[in-house]
Amino acid sequence: MSKDRLKKNRWRLLHQYYSYTGFYRFILDGIKKASLPIVLVVVALLYVNYEVIKINDLLKILTERYDDLTIFSVFFISESILGLLPPDIFIAWTKNTNFPILYLGVLAILSYLGGVISYILGKAMLLIPSIQKYMEEKMAKHIINMRKWGGLLIAAGALLPLPFAIAAMAAGMIRFDFRNFLIFALLRFLRFVIYGFAIYQMLN
């Protein structure tokens, strides 16, 4: 059998596996759930922009009131602990800084490192039986999905509007290979490029 045919059969088997285990449905449902908050945020921003205060003016006030280190610190903490705050707010903030592209890059790096911290936290939880048991109950679904889909779920969490920190923590809890985690998580940078371009266009 030729290499091309073997490769084709492999991809076909993978597709069948992901279809059978519900990966595609999971991604679609996750995007649907994430889309509603995003739409609500966009609508709210547009309303504020046209009816209350220009978003650019509001972001300038934010930039003047809080120093860069404070904002970066809040973002890093959020990205390290279950992704509590939407990254899009911080991406919008960079648009009104003196160095938008540089600051966007810093956010991407902090988000990536936040995922690494989440992974380490997930792995560290295995050392304390009581915490391990509690988190395994709370994150049972995520852990099961991580065991089924591994790197592909990490990639989806990094690139799509899905909870990246939770995926990273689940990866740590199942002892997913760290080097492979770092590779799949690199897609986090692509997410910031795409979202940065979209948000910058919206704020022009």
Share of the chain above pLDDT 90, in %: 26
pLDDT exceeds 90 at position 102: yes
More confident residue, 139 or 68: 68
Range of the domain at 131: 3-202
What is the rounded average pLDDT for all residues in the chain?
80
Total domain count, the chain: 1
Q: Quickly list DSSP for the chain.
A: --HHHHHHHHHHHHHHHHHHHTHHHHHHHHHHHHHHHHHHHHHHHHHIIIII--HHHHHHHHHHHS-HHHHHHHHHHHHHTTT-S-HHHHHHHHTTSS-HHHHHHHHHHHHHHHHHHHHHHHHHGGGSHHHHHHHHHHTHHHHHHHHHHTHHHHHHHHHSSS-HHHHHHHHHHTT--HHHHHHHHTHHHHHHHHHHHHHHHHT-
pLDDT digits (tens, 9 = 90+) for 1-27: 555 565 566 667 776 777 777 777 777
pLDDT at res. 45: 62
pLDDT at res. 53: 53
CA distance 190 to 116: 17
Q: What is the mean pLDDT of residues 190-201?
A: 89
> 81 in the Ramachandran plot: left (φ > 0), alpha (ψ -120 to 50) or beta?
beta
pLDDT exceeds 60 at position 101: yes
